[in-house]
Amino acid sequence: MTPFGKGERWIGYGLLTLAVLLVVGPFVWITLQSFKHQIAIYTGAWIFTPTLDNYREVLFSRRSDFVSNVWNSVIVAAVSTSLVLVVGTLAAYSLHRLAWARWVALGFLAWTIFFHAIPVITLIGPWYIAFRQLGFYDTQFALIVTHLTINLPMTVWLMMAFFREIPPELEEAALVDGCRPVQAFWRISLPLAVPGLIAAGILAFIFSWNEFAVALSLTSRETATVPVAIARFAQQYEVQHSQMAAASVISTIPAVLLMFLGQRFVVRGLTLGSVK
Amino acid sequence: MQPKVALGAAEIAAPALSRPGPAARSGAYWLNRSFRWWSFLPAALLMAVLTLYPMVNLVWMSVSTIEFAQGRDIWSFTPGRNLDLLLSDRVLRHAFLNTLVFVVVSVAAEMVLGLGLALLVGRLTRGKGLVRTVMILPILVPPVAIGSMWKLMFNYDFGVFNQALMGLGIEPVNWLGSTSVALISVILVDIWHWTPFVFLILFAAVEALPVDVLEAGRVDGATGRQALRHIILPLLRPALMVAITFRSILAFKAFDEVYLLTSGGPGTSTELISLHLYKVFFEQNQLGYGAMLSLAVIAAIVAFLLVSRQALARSTAA
């Protein structure tokens, strides 16, 4: 693209600053609210004495389950992400490398696209019935397997794209030298696909942490996750604005951390396949 | 050192497994022999049990009435009842129209803004990284947190928008509580949330534009507008199609923010298909009728996918 001329540059940077402010503004605003007493929120004060009371109330008050909500979210996201990486990576490698018939590979991928395109709410009814029949309703297990399933398509596509970039000669050479198929996967392809594992892992963790509709329907008080807890603050008869703000700020921590630490991988994962 | 006597082909190929006898055939041997199967089977089973079976189950549910008594589900075969519910569902029509408006308006706005932003940032010499970092944030943050954020900002009494309006001496607006404004507010939030995603896709495509082609255009005297119209946009077309398809599907699925912001109200003014489906399942406890609605939604999505696949194929062929 042509760089800006001298006069245009100021307009360009001006517009851009505006766009960045528009994106960041709401985050700054809610963070400010989370440090205000309820009364300061209601008066809309811009100058106020900051307080940690909202965070204290959300995290340590006896009436609040938020700490156990965070714990549920961490467990569900961590376990489902680990599992989806194992299941998804193996499947991606298998479909890419192990000579499945075309209709098997295409059929599976088409099905994952289809499943990914339909609203997950359409399946929540059958899931709800099945989990109640099996006694898994309101357990972490139910959330782990559903989140695993929801993240599987994305993981398989991402990992296939990463495996595709590995030159097949590497494995062929190893096989000729007496490497067994499992070793070729474990020692050669997998180490080269680590960037893909990181990208898929970050995205799967974030999606599971953020997931709301399934968590809302398959959990009750015991196993509610962070998004469900935030929604409870908003849905109560009297909306608890200050606590809702504090809980929301806490819920964004993983995203903010991963944005700085794993940005390279995330961008790659989000835009992969859209350019080619 | 073990004495090496007459190694078989298998031992040469796999020195690590060179124990003779049937024991070697059981462990690592079978692990390698059946690698193709056990690497793919978990994923296939998972998809079959958790997506294929529930979808088949939807068909049975859609002709049944399901009630829970003492924790057990009791099914009765009532095909006509769910159809009656479908035909008499007045909210469904509103939900359908709202979803249509929501998807078309927000995706259109996101495409225009995202494209403009991508072209703008593509011309920067510095600061690309910073812009990209900032733009990732709305995509990764929990949608529920975004909903609660905007619920506070839209608040009638102390929200930032009404503060600004009153500061300017203008009547405050009931952003989420008025039937004529609520849908617009919800669409605004979606545009804020997803324009960065469109930007990321298009920005990657802008960065991949062939420099020599753009250069040739300039040498031949194309003005900025001509270059955009005849060179840049045609080259970006595949990425534009991908972004439109992705966003339309995602917008159709929108649930979290709207649930937080309005729960479909006031009245049915922001009721979307996904919200309606959730309410039928879990607030009205109509599992059978919900299944019938689900099937209808799935059919609509399949139709959309087939149409957009053809459009995609055409745009990449052109």
**Given an 8 Å threshold on Cβ–Cβ distance, is A152 in contact with B242?**
no
Helix crossing, B233-252 with B182-207: angle to 10°?
Answer: 140
- Which residues lie across from B73 on neighbouring strands? B68
Q: Which residue has the higher pLDDT, A8 or B248?
A: B248
Q: Please, which residues have CB within 8 angstroms of residue B100's CB and are 6 or more apart in sequence? A: none
How is residue A222 annotated by DSSP? G
DSSP, collapsed to helix, strand or coil, labels residue A232 as helix
Share of chain A above pLDDT 90, in %: 47
pLDDT exceeds cutoff 90 at B267: no
Q: Do B39 and A98 touch (CB under 8 A)?
A: yes
Q: Are B119 and A1 in contact (CB under 8 A)?
A: yes
Taking the CA atoms of B219, B221, B226 and B229 in sequence, report the sign of the dihedral they define: negative
Candidate from A232-241, B19-28, B46-55 with smallest mean pLDDT: B19-28
Contact by Cβ (8 Å): A163, A96: yes
Biggest alpha carbon distance in chain B? 98
Q: Which of A213, A164, A232 is nearest to A193 (CA)?
A: A164
Average pLDDT, chain B: 86
DSSP string computed for chain B: --------HHHHH-GGG---SHHHHHTHHHHHHTHHHHHHHHHHHHHIIIIIHHHHHHHHHHTEEEEEETTEEEEEE-HHHHHHHHHT-HHHHHHHHHHHHHHHHHHHHHHHHHHHHHHHHHT-SS-HHHHHHHHHHHHHS-HHHHHHHHHHHT-TTT-HHHHHHHHTT-----TTTSTTTHHHHHHHHHHHHHHHHHHHHHHHHHHTS-HHHHHHHHHTT--HHHHIIIIIHHHHHHHHHHHHHHHHHHHHT--HHHHHHTTT-STTTT--HHHHHHHHHHTS--HHHHHHHHHHHHHHHHHHHHHHHHHHHHHHH-
Mean pLDDT of chain A: 88
Query: Would you give the DSSP letter of residue A2?
Result: P
User: Would an 8 Å CB–CB cutoff place A47 in contact with chain B?
Assistant: no
Structure tokens at B253: 């699925």
Contacts with B118 from chain A: Cβ below 8 Å? none
- Compute the average pLDDT of residues B17-32: 65
pLDDT at B167: 87
Residues of A in contact with B197 (CB under 8 A): 270
CB contact under 8 A, B160 and A29: yes
Burial of A122 (0-12, 13-18, 19+ CB in 10 A): buried
- Which residues, numbered 205 to 224 in chain A, qualify as contacts with chain B under a Cβ-Cβ cut-off of 8 Å? 206, 209-210, 212-213, 216-217
Question: Is residue A204 within 8 angstroms of chain B, CB to CB?
Answer: no
Average pLDDT value for residue range A52-73: 87
pLDDT grade for A260, boundaries at 50, 70 and 90: confident
Cβ of A213 and B55 within 8 Å?
Answer: no
Q: CB within 8 A of A251, min separation 6: which ones?
A: A209, A226, A227, A230, B141, B142, B144, B145
Give the tens place of pLDDT for each residue, A156-185.
Answer: 999 999 999 888 888 889 889 888 888 889
For residue B10, pLDDT over 50 is answered with no
Q: Is A272 an 8 Å CB contact of chain B? A: no
Contact call for B294 and A123, based on CB within 8 A: yes
Q: What is the mean pLDDT of residues A252-261?
A: 85
Residue A3, SS3 per DSSP: coil
Please name the residues in contact with B117: beta carbons below 8 A apart, sequence gap of 6 or more: A16, A19, B195, B199, B203
Return the closest-CA partner of residue B73 out of A36, A129, A176.
A129
At A112-140, the pLDDT tens digits run: 989 988 999 999 999 999 998 898 888 99
Residues of B in contact with A20 (CB under 8 A): 130-131, 134
pLDDT > 70 in chain A, percent:
95
> Please, which pLDDT band fits residue A276 given cuts at 50, 70 and 90?
very low
Pairwise CB contact (< 8 Å): A248 & B148: yes
Mean pLDDT, range B70-97, rounded to an integer? 85
With both helix axes pointing from N to C terminus, report the angle between A263-271 and A194-210 in degrees, rounded to the nearest 10: 80
Q: Is it the case that residue B216 has pLDDT exceeding 70? A: yes
Confidence tier at B21 by pLDDT (50, 70, 90): low
Residues of A in contact with B192 (CB under 8 A): 22-23, 26
Q: How far apart, in whole angstroms, are the C-alpha atoms of residue A39 and residue B140?
A: 31
A43 phi/psi in degrees, rounded to 5? -85, -10
Asked whether residue B11 carries a pLDDT value surpassing 80, the answer given is no
Which of the residue ranges A238-252, B6-20, B100-114, B159-173 has the most confident prediction, judged by mean pLDDT? B100-114
Rounded Cα gap, residues B179 and A161, in angstroms? 46
Asked whether this complex has an ipTM greater than 0.95, the answer is no
Give the separation between CA B236 and CA A27, rounded to whole angstroms. 32
Do the Cβ atoms of A30 and B290 come within 8 Å? no
| A141 touches B: beta carbon within 8 Å | no
User: Across the interface, do B145 and A275 touch by the CB < 8 Å criterion?
Assistant: no
Which member of A26, A181, A209 has the closest CB to residue B149? A26
Q: What is the percentage of chain B residues whose pLDDT exceeds 90?
A: 43
Confidence band of B23 (pLDDT split at 50, 70, 90): low
CA distance B316 to B304: 18
- Residue A96 pLDDT > 70, yes or no? yes
Q: Are A227 and B256 in contact (CB under 8 A)?
A: yes
Quote the distance between the C-alpha of residue A149 and its chain's center. 13
* Amino acid at position A138, single letter: D
The confidence score (pLDDT) of residue B1 equals: 42
**Chain B positions in Cβ-Cβ contact with residue A120 (cut-off 8 Å):** 253
Q: How does residue B4 score in pLDDT terms, banded at 50, 70 and 90?
A: very low
Minimal C-alpha gap between A62 and chain B (Å): 23
By the CB < 8 Å criterion, does A257 face chain B?
no
pLDDT band for position A232 (50/70/90)?
confident
Q: d(Cα A262, Cα A190) in Å, to the nearest integer?
A: 19
Which segment of A68-72, A257-261, B246-250 scores lowest on mean pLDDT?
A257-261
A7 touching B (Cβ < 8 Å): no
Best mean pLDDT range from A3-17, A18-32, B26-40: A18-32
| Most B-contacting residue of A121, A241, A268 (CB-CB within 10 A), to test interface | A121
Q: What is the band of A246 on the pLDDT scale with cuts at 50, 70, 90?
A: very high
Could you tell me the pTM of the whole model? 0.88
